[in-house]
């Protein structure tokens, strides 16, 4: 949606989950010397000031990253993410939050490419400015990232991480992400794809994980984090999830260790919990 501004939600519980996973995906894929292409379809502004008028209106970071900040008792999966958030807050005060483009740029190498898309006219300007330090390996486009994926796959190195993170304010987004992933898998079945989705009471959101499991992909991982009981009136997001196609073999065990800690830290009521499932086998300890 052209009106959507992620600054209202920066650092919330959904950002915590999605960015923990994106950091691990990028770090794992960057272990091989061969270049990697990172594609972000809804990149946002790149960084967010948590004391800005937009961020303080809802102050969602207080029940997200704010609950993890300055704790040192988390498993490595969470600690790796917190160290990166700390790069924007070197004085120990939580005043800024890095979006997925910045986290991916920090985690990848100088010979890896980032292809970032953002439709909001103001946010794309901020994104260009915030990513200038990474030079020519980053390209920012003020266009539709879902429509652009087809032309970028497969990349020259045949190694890619595609992060898809719509606002889902438009119900059509649910159909579009299914169609986009189906076409992407036809063009490049060996890529790693991570799709974030909100946990809402609306039918489209509830049905999405099962629809994703029917895509032509044999290797997938699904993780969900619920922070509260769904409201009786159906209003608001009670959690979120990520569906990862072709995940690293290490990711399930890492999440199995980390998710109970995230539930404990981010729970808003007794309805909090997590889901973790894989296509190949049950995750360790499940």
Is-catalytic flag, 233?
A: no
> What's the order of all strands across the beta sheet hosting 37-40?
138-141, 113-117, 37-40, 160-164, 192-199, 239-245, 220-226, 273-278
User: Where do the DSSP E strands lie in the chain?
Assistant: 37-40, 47-49, 96-98, 113-117, 138-141, 160-164, 192-199, 220-226, 239-245, 273-278
Residue written as tokens 């036809």?
A: 186
CB-based contact 196:242 (threshold 8 Å): yes
In DSSP notation, 109-141 reads -TT-EEEEE---HHHHHHHHHHTGGGGGGEEEE
**DSSP type of residue 5:** -
What angle do helix axes 76-86 and 100-107 make, rounded to 10 degrees?
100
Q: Look at residue 76 and give its three-state secondary structure.
A: helix
Annotated catalytic residue within 165, 170, 173, 219: 165
What is the bridge-based pairing of β-strands 273-278 and 239-245? unpaired
Give the residue numbers annotated as catalytic, written as ranges: 165
């Amino acid at each position: 949606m052209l009106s959507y501004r992620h600054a209202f939600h920066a650092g919330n519980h959904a950002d915590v989950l999605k960015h923990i996973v994106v950091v691990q995906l990028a770090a794992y894929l960057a272990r091989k010397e061969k270049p990697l292409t990172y594609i972000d379809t809804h990149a946002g502004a790149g960084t967010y000031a948590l004391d800005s008028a937009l961020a303080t209106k809802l102050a969602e970071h207080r029940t997200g990253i704010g609950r993890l900040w300055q704790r040192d008792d988390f498993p490595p999966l969470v600690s790796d993410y917190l160290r990166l958030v700390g790069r924007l807050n070197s004085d120990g005060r939580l005043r800024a939050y890095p979006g997925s483009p910045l986290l991916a740029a920090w985690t990848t190498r100088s010979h890896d490419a980032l292809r970032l898309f953002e439709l909001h006219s103001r946010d794309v300007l901020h994104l260009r400015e915030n990513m200038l330090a990474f030079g020519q390996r980053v390209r920012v486009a003020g266009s539709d990232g879902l429509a652009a994926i087809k032309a970028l796959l497969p990349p020259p190195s045949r190694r890619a991480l595609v992060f898809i993170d719509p606002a889902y304010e438009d119900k059509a987004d649910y159909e579009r992400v299914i169609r986009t992933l189906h076409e992407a898998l036809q063009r490049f079945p060996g890529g790693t794809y991570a799709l974030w989705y909100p946990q809402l009471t609306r039918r489209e959101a509830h049905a999405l994980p099962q629809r994703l499991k029917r895509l032509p992909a044999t290797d997938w991982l699904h993780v969900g984090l619920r922070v509260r009981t769904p409201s009786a009136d159906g209003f608001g997001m009670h959690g979120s999830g990520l569906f990862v196609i072709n995940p690293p073999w290490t990711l399930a065990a890492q999440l199995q260790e980390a998710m109970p800690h995230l539930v404990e830290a981010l729970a808003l009521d007794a309805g909090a919990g997590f889901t973790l499932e894989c296509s190949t086998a049950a995750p360790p300890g499940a």
